Amino acid sequence: MVTDLETEGFAVFDPDEATLTWAATALEVAKKLAADLDIQNANLSHGKTWFVGVDVLPNASDGAIEGVPLKGPWQDHIEPPAQWHRAQVSIVYPGYPQRDAGESEGNHRYRITRFAAHVDGLLPMGPDRRRFMQEPHGFILGLPLNQSNAAPLMVWPGSHKIMGQTFRAEIGKRDPKSVDITEVYHAARREVFDRITPRPVTAAPGQSILLHRHLLHGVGVWGPQDTAPPEGRMIAYFRPEIAPSDWLEV
């Protein structure tokens, strides 16, 4: 493990043979899915430079893909879910991010300058896009499917402490799903931006990335020196959900 999970809020684990076997199998499945025109149309965004791929990977409820078990050194650092959901297959293509027709200039600029920094599970609700915790993830597990340094995962080390403290102070003993956290969320993000320098995180197939559920993170732009295979930069992400009350815990 090259980063302290508790202090930094993320960890990158050394290559593991079982993880590599899973990633190699998932890559072949993902490439076929991403080449399907109907699936493409449902998932491409930002000028067709990002394949969102939520719940696209047809893994089994134990995380296995085509019979290959989901295993890795990250297992010692999580509470395994009773059932694994279908993983997201996030694919980024050259030129990311382009501006979609319906995207505001401000949102597009935020995606470039702040790498679309966010905490997962805080969804915009209603016409005013107020933020509520709607998907209480226990953790985020990233498994690179191919070798690439393009459009890296961006993290703000230690930001999980600032964000988590903000959420606990605002929500208290109330149901986290019922509390509008828009203002405090934006304020906490600004504090993170002022205090913490973002860090790119790259990893190869066989490695694994574990993020704390409150960690501020995003996706870097595709730079002129970035490289990836023809299928684009591909990472599978698992975000198992937990009880809403447990989401606030340290």
- Which pLDDT score, from 0 to 100, does residue 179 have? 96
pLDDT greater at residue 101 or residue 84 = 84
Mean pLDDT computed over 72-86:
96
Query: Which bin fits 53, alpha (ψ -120 to 50), beta or left (φ > 0)?
Result: left
**Which residues touch 197 (CB under 8 Å, ≥6 apart)?**
156
Statement: residue 1 has pLDDT above 60: no
Mean pLDDT computed over 169-189:
96
- Which pLDDT score, from 0 to 100, does residue 3 have? 62
Q: pLDDT-derived band of residue 85, with 50, 70 and 90 as boundaries?
A: very high
The DSSP secondary-structure symbol of 65 reads B
Burial class (CB in 10 A: 0-12, 13-18, 19+), 30: buried
Q: Which of 13-17, 101-105, 180-184 has the lowest mean pLDDT?
A: 101-105
DSSP string, 155-177: E-TTHHHHHHHHHHHHHTTS-GG
Q: pLDDT-derived band of residue 250, with 50, 70 and 90 as boundaries?
A: confident
Statement: residue 22 has pLDDT above 90: yes
- Which pLDDT score, from 0 to 100, does residue 2 have? 54
Mean pLDDT computed over 183-202:
98
Instruction: Tell me the per-residue pLDDT of 34-73, one tens digit each, with 9 for 90 and over.
Output: 999 999 999 999 999 999 999 999 999 999 999 999 999 9
Distance separating alpha carbons of residues 239 and 222, to the nearest angstrom: 24
Report domain extents, the chain.
Answer: 5-243
Q: State which CATH number among 2.60.120, 3.40.1000, 2.40.10, 3.30.420 fits the domain covering 5-243.
A: 2.60.120
- Which pLDDT score, from 0 to 100, does residue 5 have? 82
Mean pLDDT score of the chain? 96
CB 7 within 8 A of CB 158: yes
CB 188 within 8 A of CB 166: yes
